Amino acid sequence: MTTSSHELFITGLKNAHAMENQALSIMKPQVARIESYPDVGARLESHIRETEGQIARLEAILDSLGADRNSLKDMALSLAGSFAAVGHTAAPDEILKNSMANFAFENFEIAAYKSLIALAEAGGHRETIPQLQRNLDEELAMADWLDQNIEAVTLKFASLKEAGETAKK
Ligand code: MG
Ligand code: FE
């Protein structure tokens, strides 16, 4: 691997590490607030656990490549701003906006891992691919779950809203 593509791979891994920390900060407040959608809450809860495992895998890969861990914190802070718009706390339809934003975020993660795997394949870091593939598979499964559930969540939201409005009258 040339120096520059090695650096690109390391930078990509650090970006993925920051992305996963951002994923936690997006999902955790949602889980804390969800009341009427227990299946969404349960899936988010399990993806939070998965995400913690993903972070551990990325750290193990970075360590195996002798990357400097000190820069990870700065990257996390800089990425936080770029996804600030993802939180929709306090919007009356926050469950819908969050469902859409979560689907977008999972697809961002899928693209990130596909990119990392391409770099690993091209640049002689094939030993890291099984770990990256495991992260990718979890993102694909989460994106698929969100994809399968958006209609049901929307219709439940609509019926809860209707029931709430009926109750008021
Ligand atoms: Mg993830
Ligand atoms: Fe994810």
Q: What is the pLDDT of residues 81-136, one digit of tens each?
A: 455 445 556 788 999 999 999 999 999 999 999 999 999 999 889 999 999 999 99
Give the chain's domain count: 1
Q: Is residue 103 part of a domain?
A: yes
Q: Please tell me the number of the ligand nearest to residue 27's CA.
A: 2
The string of pLDDT tens digits covering residues 7-34 is: 999 999 999 999 999 999 999 999 999 9
CA of 151 relative to ligand 1 center, distance in Å? 23
Q: Please tell me the number of the ligand nearest to residue 52's CA.
A: 1
The string of pLDDT tens digits covering residues 32-57 is: 999 899 999 999 999 999 999 999 99
CATH of the domain at 66: 1.20.1260.10
Would you tell me how many other CB atoms lie within 10 Å of the CB of residue 103? 18
Q: Is residue 147 part of a domain?
A: yes
Q: In angstroms, how far is the first alpha carbon of the chain from the final one?
A: 69
CA of 96 relative to ligand 1 center, distance in Å? 20
CA of 52 relative to ligand 2 center, distance in Å? 10
Enumerate residues 6+ apart whose C-beta is below 8 A from 136: 110, 113, 114, 117
Q: Is residue 169 part of a domain?
A: no
